[in-house]
Structure 1
């Protein structure tokens, strides 16, 4: 069906805002809320859990026939309790259905807890996420470091300390994952036990041949899983086609005659041994090493800046990657609005030099047209860098507060959608109980941890639309 939000029925009533303007910097709902929103078709087989989505979201828009008044006007004590619960990684287990959500202090504190994330650097006048394609939003803003090399060195030194702190937390399984957002690419570091892998992994996207060459020169072992998957698939298809051709030729009696030489292979075409037999090997120019190397890497070069350029680094090589990134000069822009600005670090848990931030939330009531009939509909908008654990935590709260019925439009930061690809590091036989036990101190709720430990199943796409009916999920990617 189609939903058209016509007007806010409480536009002039401050009591309907999620947060009073004097206490919280909330963002108004964007104009596209008032345009027709096509609700995509969803799978016909609902499940009690949706797959892990490792992409970063810029915005979530939840809709429900039940009001979101419980998410409005949090008391100072509820805010403080929510922050405390986050810092202490307190588990909140709500009943299947909260009868009076607005009166549930436990629910409201858990809502505040789910909005918290950690950021470095912290420059309130700049939008530090997303970084790819952010020049237009940053241009014209004060950037005293852009022409001051000494200040740039101080910022990068501070950034290196924070980056190293996050990696050490990850290695100790006290941080489940974190993101490094540069102006050209994004990196997702995941602790051992997540995404079906039994070792630490780092995925980088998009990449270029120059970056990959620099990593190789630094001794970093990595793979291009999507390129290799494509190559394997083509090889398999080629073998199947060859088998079919042979079978058909035998069937019609066109097999090779006795003594007939088979057609030369590509490898044989590239052999130059016959030149020696003719005695002209020195007179014919043969491809040099560089030409052969470029030909072999042709397919790899073609994927630059595309999702297929995803790089996977595993195990101890992630530590080498850490040192490489700290010393990589191309990590920071040398010109333009982002010149001298260190990459953005995003984490679900506290780390050295990190600043506590909260996602911006606002609810609004409106009229919606459903099957030619206007009905009241409530919506809750969440804006900011929404990480996987926040998405899952929010859906758990809405499941209880909205009586198992809501829908959500998810806005993905597109360069990170490929993080949902199934990687060769995945180990389907990984013991879930062992994973949960090893990562109990990582700061995530056990249910969230269970979801994120699963092997990725969304491929190169991400969840765009999520719906819950009768406490069962369906989604569209």
Structure 2
């Protein structure tokens, strides 16, 4: 090592310097106690000579050439190369910086060769090192304990103290003053225990969870029978909040079978009768004996009329919460008083056409078109704002613009008539044909027809006019397709409770175990698929059971029947529902959800996620 280029033989390691200081302190102690003074003088002279020699050939820590003299050159035998990475900041290691700049240069271990000089000196050095180490560890443990106590005190405030108040007693360390510690307390995420009511019909549900969903498949005969009995009797069992083993819970499996049941008319096992809009493919190649048999069509329509009348009677008596009429061109939702934020019976029809709306007016059915009226009111308000701005500008403009201000409040025909006043000034008003009322009416009808078969054409019927609507549906010939694969087949009636002529059906549930990629690993995910016409009460009942069985963690993808998504809009005379809804035959939690006004507008839920018993959703 002494032969290498740039090596300084007078350089001392920090450990050697520490050893020399300990040795000198021991020598001084021995001399005071009457020890041998020669060793003290020898160690002092050695330390002084070593320190004087080390200062001569020490290169500064700044980048630059080595400061050396002739004595250093003779001892080392060369010039040490410049360290390109050396500067003032990195001359000490991070561990040395923690204990201070002065102590860092002197800290370090001892040389093995010098440590084995004498047995007595080694023992004394080891004891002093152990004592210093123990004192250092005690200080570190004390500092950690104080930091832990301060963090715990900050994260666990008392009930009487405010989270945003800081006093000298509470804030003792800079860690407590940091916004990272206080922000989770001051901005706490809200816990959503319920998702908004969705009145649209679902065709498919896909649930996924990290907890196994195998408890929902292969019910026992007794469990299935008990679930059917509870559904018919409108009985609901109380489930515990903490289910240790959902698969062994008979009450949970019975409640799940109960939530899958719905009632339908007509019910043909070989033909799927939902959905009915744009469902020609599902009827293709099927046996349809009623297509060319007028007597069979009359029998089917007679039974359907009886079932529809029975459903409306149950709805009016508050024994049925809602039901759907799924025709080949539109879907009608009837809701009882007290649901959807309305205090009266109401019905929503979507989509509609101008011909259907004119036929309803002819029958004396009063209805509203909420989305078109909202758009019209919005356009009027915008026009009023524009007109107010124009009036303000016209007051300061020329006099020939005052005619436009007078014609702002007129109707469309008067606006167009006044816009042609310049023809009279030119004297050619008789030579040019003006638009008459018939052309203006045709133009307005064209605007009304432009929304046909679109969500904006949804119609709302409320109060006693819903009874007139039921008679209109029974007697209207367009409610049944005259041609095509659905010719002669009456609309499908869907309800959550039994009614006359109805068939009890059950949604199909199927469970699968799949592997999903999470980061760089694969995680076992349990999934459950439910197919069929999923009613709003069925969706809420299933999610309520999954909340308990899956320990508050699952996600669901909802596939909506597109024409029914707009059924989430508000009616024109919506008010807080105050009617008695105790005899609806639904779970009280489902009734409570359906009583609220839907906040989804003309959209529907597409995804529901529950994380730690808190709901989030997407439209």
Q: TM-score, normalised by structure 2?
A: 0.65
Q: 1:259 to 1:309 in 2, by over 3 A?
A: closer
CA shift in 2, pair 1:285/1:164, >3 Å: farther
In the other structure, the counterpart of 1:456 is 598
Map 1:333-412 → 2, pairs under 5 A: 333-412=481-560
Cα distance, 1:286 vs. partner? 6.1
Give unpaired runs (5+ residues) of structure 2: 1-188
Q: Is the 8 A contact 1:97 1:404 kept in 2?
A: no
Structure 2 residue corresponding to 1:205, chosen from 335, 350, 354: 350
Change (3 A) 1:173 1:371: same
The offset of 1:256, in angstroms, is 3.9
Are the aligned partners of 1:196 and 1:425 in contact in 2 as well (CA < 8 Å)?
no
The question of 1:149 aligning with 2:290 is answered no
* Normalised TM-score (structure 1): 0.84
Structure scoring higher RCO (CA < 8 A, sep ≥ 6) equals 1
Unmatched runs of 5 consecutive residues or more in structure 1: 1-43
Secondary structure in 1 aligned to 2:274? coil
**Retained in 2: the 8 A contact 1:256–1:262?**
no
CA distance in 2, matches of 1:459, 1:384: 24
Distance in 1, matches of 2:425 and 2:215, equals 86
Instruction: Pick from 263, 269, 289 the counterpart of residue 415 of structure 2.
Output: 269
- Asked whether 1:446 is paired with 2:578, we answer no
1:332–1:340 CA contact under 8 A, matched in 2: yes
Distance 1:77 1:136 in 2: 38
Q: How do residues 101-180 of structure 1 correspond to structure 2 at under 5 angstroms? A: 101-180=246-325
Aligned match of 2:149: none
Q: Which residue of 2 aligns with 1:294?
A: 442
Alignment-derived partner of residue 455 in structure 2? 307
Quote the residue 2:615 is aligned against: 473
Render the CA deviation track for 1:234-274: whole Å, top value 9, x for unaligned.
11122223334555x38xxx724579733144643345898
Residue number in structure 2 paired with 1:40: none
SS at the partner of 2:497? coil
Deviations 1:34-82 (A, max 9, x none): xxxxxxxxxx855110000000000000000000121122110100000
Q: Distance in 2 between matches of 1:419 and 1:256?
A: 49
Q: Which of the two has greater strand per residue?
A: 1
Give the structure with the higher percent helix: 2
Distance change >3 Å, CA 97–CA 238, structure 1 → 2? farther
Contact 1:131 1:181 in 2 (8 A): yes
Candidates 474, 477, 480, aligned match of 1:326: 474
Q: What CA distance in whole angstroms lies between the structure 2 residues aligned with 1:280 and 1:260?
A: 22
Greater CA drift, 272-281 or 390-399? 272-281
Residue 302 (structure 1) shift: 1.1
Tell me, in whole angstroms, the C-alpha distance in 1 between the residues paired with 2:425 and 2:383: 33
Report how far residue 425 of structure 1 moved. Answer: 2.8
Aligned-pair distance for 1:299?
2.7
Contact 2:322 2:334 in 1 (8 A): yes
